[in-house]
Structure 1
């Protein structure tokens, strides 16, 4: 598998903000980079994002005194094709 998180727009863990623009990660630039990196491998992209979503949910839940975060839209919805 391709190294998933390279380039400047990577997350600062455990707060999951972009290290460049401080937006919630994946920011717009990170999304574009991931789409380009996984061009032709949408299932691979969704698997990666699912893993990262679980990790981010765990981190953000711990930081927010156990309040569960729903990161589905942030991590997965944008990466689905219209037919999904």
Structure 2
């Protein structure tokens, strides 16, 4: 009989108070700055990709792996050259401009303080 009284005791206890979440607000929906191929413009801002927000996000993401970032961007450079050659077969893309756009900013020595 005691065990049945004990069960009633637990059922009659009030529920514990749970404080509402007071942390930072969840971030707004994130729209990644990705390339629109084959023209290589940013899908969000329309600037030539990689745009400044994309570069900043990649520098933060790859901050401990800058060589991997350069390799990643090198593959994009390769794809961009192929796309530009398909779009404009009679006019080759400017290699210096594409190097600066896709690879020069990934040099870790440029980002040391």
Over 4 Å off, 4+ runs:
none
Residue segments in structure 2 that go unaligned for 5+ positions in a row? 1-30
1:29 deviates by 0.3
Structure 1 counterpart of 2:9: none
Residue by residue over 1:17-36, the C-alpha shift from the partner in whole angstroms, topping out at 9 and shown as x without a partner, is: 00011110000000001111
Instruction: Give 2:106's aligned residue.
Output: 79
Q: Give the number of the structure with larger relative contact order, counting CA–CA contacts within 8 Å between residues 6 or more apart.
A: 1
TM-score between the two structures when normalised by the length of structure 2:
0.64
TM-score by length of 1: 0.84
Counterpart position of 2:73? 49
Please tell me whether Structure 1 or Structure 2 has the larger radius of gyration of its CA atoms: 2
Equivalent of 1:60 in 76, 84, 96: 84
Structure 1: unaligned runs, 5 residues or longer: 1-6
Choose between structure 1 and 2: higher helix proportion. 2
Give the alignment's Cα RMSD to 1 decimal. Answer: 1.3
